[in-house]
Structure 1
Amino acid sequence: MTRLLRSRVAMAVLRAGFMSLLVAMPQLLLGHGTPGSRQLVALFALMAGIFTFSEYAARSPSLVEFRDARPYNRIRVTALATAVVLATAVLQEHWRDSLLQVFHAGIEAWGRAVDVPYTPVHLLVGTLPSDLPPHLVGEVQAAAAAVYTISLLMIATFAATIRWGNWPGRGAFNVWVNLPQFDPTAGGDVVERLQRDAHVNLVLGVLLPLIAPLAANLLALPFQGALLREPAALVWIITAWAFIPANLAMRGLALNRLAWLIAAHRARLRRAEVLAQAV
């Protein structure tokens, strides 16, 4: 037990350090911002580390779902880190004159390719202030396309894990640890509740990237401020636009899978009862 506790605490420390570094990375790499913004980023990085440590060091988390249902959270964190790195690379001015300029040009070409009418990237770019320099618009376009592509790959990877990886595995699924906010005794059929929540999450995951940019008056102010003063904030605005809906869609797939497993288990129990009565 002591060895297990030490291992859990050590892994929680590593995860906390990684999340703190991930939050601070855009600010560290871009090197822009006022002293106040740098202090704010440091505060957010510290809060992310403390939250991650408390969730993973505890016996049961309070907010993080599917903590022990690998590789759910590993897929999410890997995709998030990749998206943040790509968005930061696109917005890094000094990298355009280095060996990474081919990489930078490739992402910009991909951004132009997917920026077609009625797509989420096109709607997001359409919310930018009209007086922005063309190169800033191109950077936002490229970063949005890269981040949105990574979010779609994250969903596809998890769907493949469910289909061919038999997620969450053949072992017992601990609802108390993996779904801390879900109360199976709250009333109503568990399968129906899981399916309803899954459908809501999937619908929101599909619609939010399209609906959010339509609120142009709300998005124009943070975009304008981030582009002119805080490039690191722009990284997180674009990342949140793509990854909050993608996380909802991924959660919907997970809940739908759990509902299917429970329904299949009930069917097996009914067949076993029928056979027992026949004998």
Structure 2
Amino acid sequence: MIGRITGAVLRGLLVALLIATPSLILPRVDPDGAQVIALVAIFAALLTAFEYGSNYPCLFEFRDAPPFNRIRFLSLMMTVVLLSLIARGQYEPNSLSSFLALAGHLVAGSLDFPYSPVRLVILMLPEGTDDASLFMVRTSAGLVLTGTSGKIRIHTRPARLRWRVIARRTASI
């Protein structure tokens, strides 16, 4: 019981950190916006803590797949941190943000073909979008698409490995 409650509180704090990460990384955050983000982070932390701390699911049933939820959370956290660092590089450039922007630009350039997700995100922008915003959206879409495809590969890896193990152990069953 204590372990479950401790884990629920820890998960709630991690969700609050995930929501607050962009406002912690970005240099120019409006005080009113910071208060709203803090309120949303507290609400999400409480919801997650109650969900994982109760015996039965309250609103969402997402605790039945712990390894997949951990991978999803780490992937989402990595995406939020990387995109926040790229956005911070517009105000306070450093070598890490420049490297991430260059990597995202190269990935987006290779994935920008007709009917690709990167092209569809770019086409959703209004006609008069300036080049800096277009570059930022294209870079972000490229990095998000790369992270999503990597997460999909991680999720499909156990099934492929399990198939190989089952195929080798048919005689021992």
- For the criterion TM > 0.5, the same-fold answer is yes
Contact kept in structure 2, 1:21 and 1:45, CA below 8 Å: yes
Corresponding residue number in structure 2 for 1:117: 114
Asked if residue 108 in structure 1 is aligned to residue 71 in structure 2, the reply is: no
Cα gap change, 1:64/1:76 in structure 2, threshold over 3 Å: closer, same or farther? farther
Runs of at least 5 residues in structure 2 that lack an aligned partner in the other structure: 164-173
SS of the residue 2:63 aligns to: coil
Specify which of 157, 161, 164 is matched with residue 160 of structure 1: 157
CA pair 165-87 structure 1, distance change in 2 beyond 3 A: farther
Query: Which one-letter code corresponds to 2:35 in the other structure?
Result: Q
- What TM-score do the two structures reach when normalised by structure 1? 0.54
1:17 is matched with 13
Q: For residues 59 and 163 of structure 1, do their structure 2 counterparts lie closer, same or farther at Cα, with a shift above 3 Å needed?
A: farther
Alignment check: 8 A CA contact 2:27 2:88 kept? no
1:127 pairs with 2:121: no
* Bigger relative CO (Cα 8 Å, ≥ 6 apart): 1
Tell me the distance in 2 between the aligned counterparts of 1:6 and 1:103: 41
Number of residue pairs matched by the alignment: 162
Instruction: Give distance in 2, aligned partners of 1:129 and 1:164.
Output: 45
Letter in 2 for 1:37: G
For 2:157, what is the secondary structure of its paired residue? helix
> Of the two, which has the highest radius of gyration?
1
CA contact (8 A) 1:55 1:62 kept: yes
Contact 2:86–2:100, Cα closer than 8 Å, also in 1? no
Taking only aligned residues, the RMSD between alpha carbons, in angstroms, comes to: 2.0
Shift in alpha-carbon separation, 1:159–1:63, aligned structure 2, 3 A? farther
Q: TM-score, normalised by structure 2?
A: 0.83
Deviation of 1:66 after TM superposition, in Å, equals: 4.8
Q: Which one of the candidate residues 17, 27, 31 is aligned to 1:31?
A: 27
Which 5+ residue runs of structure 1 have no aligned equivalent? 167-279
* Deviations 1:103-139 (CA, angstroms, capped at 9, x unpaired): 3312222122212211111111111123232122111
Whole-angstrom distance in 2 between the partners of 1:161 and 1:62? 30
- Structure 2: how far apart are the matches of 1:102 and 1:35? 30
Superposition pairs of residues 108-257 of structure 1, within 5 angstroms:
108-165=105-162
